[in-house]
Amino acid sequence: MGRWEPNARGRLEEAALELFGERGYEQTTVAEIARRAGLTERTFFRHFADKREVLFGGSTLLHERLTEAVAAAPEPVAPMAAIAAALDVAGVILQERRERARRRQAVVLAHAELRERELIKLASLSAALAGALRERGVPEPAASLAAEAGMAVFRVAFERWADDPACDADLREVMRATMTELRSVTAGSPTPADPP
């Protein structure tokens, strides 16, 4: 029972998404997820605190990789360029998991409790990215604004990509196009002293 199970985490995530899709999130139990993955409940709880966390395990990976990307941005650090590099990384990671990411998104959107959890995870990612920028010497409020603007691009681009009916868009490209859109939208704002 306590033996090492190859890719237990991934198998549990896959089984959970299958079951959430088939019979609904509320109706699925941890026991069923474990059974579908060919694992025990005990193995489940070695990897996830509860049923909800199966959907959010990936955010730890994103958190790590994105802050690493900001830390690795070349000197001198242009805050939005460092954030764009992090979004490129997110685009590649999620593109590789496209089917899983889309199914997960459908489950999360359908449940207020999960949408709230997602908001919290994204807010914590934004805070981590701002922290990584400050580590690189970017002052406030530029660090927080760049991180928040990056999360705005992330959210909007991810939704466009997840909703794409043709299903052939590349997330990194959608992120880049959305970043360009953000730049043009913000540039269009007249300063208070300017005529509109």
Among 7, 5, 55, 6, smallest CA distance to 30 is for 55
Please identify, among the stretches 6-14, 61-69, 93-101, 117-125, the one whose residues bind a second copy according to the rule CB under 8 A. Answer: 117-125
Q: Which helix (H) or strand (E) holds 54?
A: none
Question: What letter does residue 142 receive in the DSSP assignment?
Answer: H
- Binds a second copy (CB under 8 A): choice among 30, 128, 152, 169: 152
Residue 146 makes contact with a second copy by CB under 8 A: yes
Residue 182 makes contact with a second copy by CB under 8 A: yes
Residue 148 makes contact with a second copy by CB under 8 A: yes
- Binds a second copy (CB under 8 A): choice among 45, 123, 135, 137: 123
Cα-Cα-Cα-Cα dihedral of 136, 138, 141, 147, to 10°?
-50
Residue 185 makes contact with a second copy by CB under 8 A: yes
Residue ranges in 6-111 assigned as alpha helix (H)? 8-23, 30-36, 41-47, 57-71, 79-96, 98-109
Determine the length of the chain.
196
Binding site for a second copy (CB under 8 A): 74, 78-81, 83-84, 116, 119-120, 123, 141-142, 144-146, 148-149, 151-153, 155-157, 159-160, 176, 178-183, 185-192, 196
